[in-house]
C-alpha cells in the first residue's frame, strides 16, 4: 500500500508540474475568414457559414476551447491575412511564397486539381494557348498560369458554370479542384447530359 500511495502522489505531482508548463488556453475570440469555395466553405441560404472546412475547423476549435468568429471576406485568403483583417483561414493552398508571411499548420486535407475536357478531346499540354475556365478565386488563376503559361484563365462564379462551358463547347478545358470536378462528373448541369466528360489530375 505504501508503494501504491507513493505512485499516486508522484502522478499527482507530475500532473501538476506539467500543467504549469502547458500554455493557457487563449481567451480571445479569433476572427476566421472564409469565402465562397464550395464544398469546403461557403455561406448557406440562411446566412450562416457551412461546408467541410467549416465543420472540421469548428469541431477542432470547440474541442480545444478556442472561440471563433466566422467572417465572410471578399478578398482572397492571402490578402485578408496580410492585411490583418482576419487571424485565421480554414483552408489555404500551401505555396512556398506564402510561408514567408503566413504560418501554415500541418495539412489536415490534401487534394488535387483536375482538368475537365470532353471525351475524345486531346489532353492539353504545357504550351496550350486556348481559354481555360476556372473558379473565381485568385489562386485558381495562379495555378492555371503555372500549368499553362500562355493560356488565358477565364473565371466563373461556380464550378458548374465551368463544366457547362466545357459541355457546350464555349471552352475546351476546365480547371477544377478534386471535389468540384467529381461532383460535376457525377451530377453536372443539364447541358452535359449527353456530353461525356473526362477528368485528369494535374
SS3 readout for the chain: CHHHHHHHHHHHHHHHHHHHHCCCCCCCEEEEEECCECCCEEECCCCCEECHHHHHHHHHHHHHCCEEEEEECCCCHHHHHHHCCCCECCCCCCCHHHHHCCCCCCCCCCCCEEEEEECCCCCCCCCCCCCEEECCCHHHHHHHHHHCCCCCEEECCCHHHHHHHHHCCCCCEEEEEHHHHHHHHHCCCHHHCCCCEEEEEC
For the whole prediction, is pTM greater than 0.85? no
pLDDT, position 11: 40
pLDDT score of 53: 94
User: Average pLDDT of 83-106?
Assistant: 92
Q: Residue 178: which pLDDT band, with cuts at 50, 70 and 90? A: confident
- With a cut of 70, say whether residue 163 has pLDDT above it: yes
- Percent over 70 (pLDDT), the chain: 87
| More confident call, 61 vs 37 | 61
Query: What's the mean pLDDT when you consider all of the chain?
Result: 85
Amino acid at each position: 500500500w505504501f508503494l501504491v500511495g507513493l505512485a499516486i502522489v508522484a502522478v499527482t505531482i507530475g500532473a501538476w508540474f506539467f500543467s504549469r508548463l502547458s500554455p493557457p488556453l487563449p481567451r480571445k475570440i479569433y476572427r476566421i475568414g472564409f469565402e465562397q469555395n464550395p464544398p469546403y466553405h461557403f455561406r448557406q441560404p440562411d446566412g450562416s457559414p457551412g461546408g467541410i472546412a467549416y465543420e472540421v475547423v469548428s469541431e477542432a476549435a470547440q474541442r480545444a476551447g478556442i472561440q471563433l468568429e466566422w467572417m465572410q471576406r471578399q478578398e482572397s485568403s492571402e490578402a485578408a491575412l496580410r492585411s490583418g483583417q482576419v487571424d485565421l483561414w480554414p483552408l489555404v493552398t500551401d505555396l512556398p511564397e506564402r510561408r514567408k508571411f503566413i504560418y501554415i499548420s500541418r495539412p489536415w486535407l490534401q487534394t488535387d486539381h483536375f482538368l475537365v475536357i470532353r471525351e475524345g478531346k486531346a489532353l492539353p499540354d504545357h504550351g496550350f494557348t486556348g481559354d481555360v475556365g476556372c473558379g473565381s478565386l485568385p489562386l485558381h488563376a495562379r495555378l492555371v498560369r503555372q500549368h499553362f503559361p500562355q493560356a488565358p484563365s477565364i473565371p466563373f462564379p461556380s464550378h458548374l458554370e465551368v463544366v457547362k462551358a466545357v459541355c457546350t463547347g464555349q471552352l475546351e478545358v476546365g480547371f477544377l479542384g478534386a471535389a468540384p470536378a467529381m461532383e460535376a462528373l457525377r451530377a453536372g448541369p443539364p447541358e452535359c447530359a449527353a456530353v461525356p466528360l473526362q477528368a485528369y489530375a494535374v
